[in-house]
Amino acid sequence: MYEVQQAHYFGLPANLALAAVTSTPATAAGLSHRIGILKEGADADVVIWDSHPLQLAATPVKTWIDGILQIPIPSKTDEETRIEVGKGKEGDEWREVPDVPKWDKERKNTVLWEGLPPLEGKIKNGRIVFSNVKHLLKKGMANSIEEVSADNGGSEIGVVVVDNGKIECVGASCLTTTDGSNLVDLHGGSISPGLMSFGSPMGVEEIAAEPSTSDGEAYNAFITNIPNILDDSGGVLRAMDALMFNTRNAM
């Protein structure tokens, strides 16, 4: 669902995003006549969410498989199994598809430059004022991650001012003059150190940390003997990505 939420954020229509985790994979598996869709005669595999599934942090509260309640484990009385959806949420915003940015300019440039340089990410220099900040995480001692507390003792930070890449001020006491500043409304979001990830186990490792479902590690001829069946006593592997040369002409 997180992948689908990202896809929707970057432009995939809501109906196609939900289909991507329901009817589309069912069709690919040849099982669309019974799963992946809500209709008469289909398997009663149903999930009830506490908000719209494309909302960030949407959480499933009830799950049925073949019409039998699985999660949470059914209790002994009907009163205890009643569904409490949206409990504690105000208004109807949590029911609706979340708002997403317009990517028309980025989409046009991506097609124009085939997704390669000179395309660059957005860079903002100077002073940036973040408003409506709920949490602020920063790097602490020994590369630990620490949460910064609000200066007014409340649960929300409110304002964070960043000047030339450095956090200058945190909290309601910050001067919020906006002359020459870039304004960013986080709508109750969080600020954290840059998070990095590389690669994807999809198609290489089906179940994380389960060797029997992966392709295994590549043999290293400098550490161990290469099995004869591979017919390559040297067995030295080297992988290159043409994109590392930063040009569309490198093959």
CATH number at residue 145: 2.30.40.10
Q: What mean pLDDT comes out for the span 215-229? A: 78
Q: Is the pLDDT of residue 217 over 50?
A: yes
In a domain, 198, yes or no: no
Q: Which residues are paired to 67 by β-bridges?
A: none
Chain segment 167-176, per-residue pLDDT in tens: 888 887 776 6
Q: Which of 148, 167, 191 is the last residue of a domain?
A: 191
Residues 17 and 74 in one domain: yes
- Above pLDDT 70, what percent of the chain? 75
User: What's the pLDDT score for residue 80?
Assistant: 46
77 domain residue, yes or no? yes
If asked whether residues 146 and 64 sit together in one domain, one would say no
- Best CA proximity match to 37, nearest among 46, 48, 28: 46
The reply to whether 8 and 91 lie within a common domain is yes
Pair 91, 22 in one domain: yes
Residue ending a domain, among 154, 170, 191, is 191
Q: Which domain holds residue 75?
A: 2-95
Q: Name the CA radius of gyration of the chain, rounded.
A: 25
Q: Which of 105-109, 188-192, 205-209 has the lowest mean pLDDT?
A: 205-209
Q: How many domains does the chain have?
A: 2
What secondary structure letter does DSSP report for 23? H
**Confidence grade of residue 140 (pLDDT, cut at 50, 70, 90):** confident
pTM: 0.55
Is the model's pLDDT at 75 over the cut of 70? no
Residue 142 phi, psi dihedral angles, 5° rounding: 55, 40
Contacts of 7 (CB under 8 A, 6+ apart): 17, 20
User: 32, 22 in Cβ contact below 8 A?
Assistant: no
Task: Please provide the average confidence, as pLDDT, over all residues in the chain.
Answer: 80
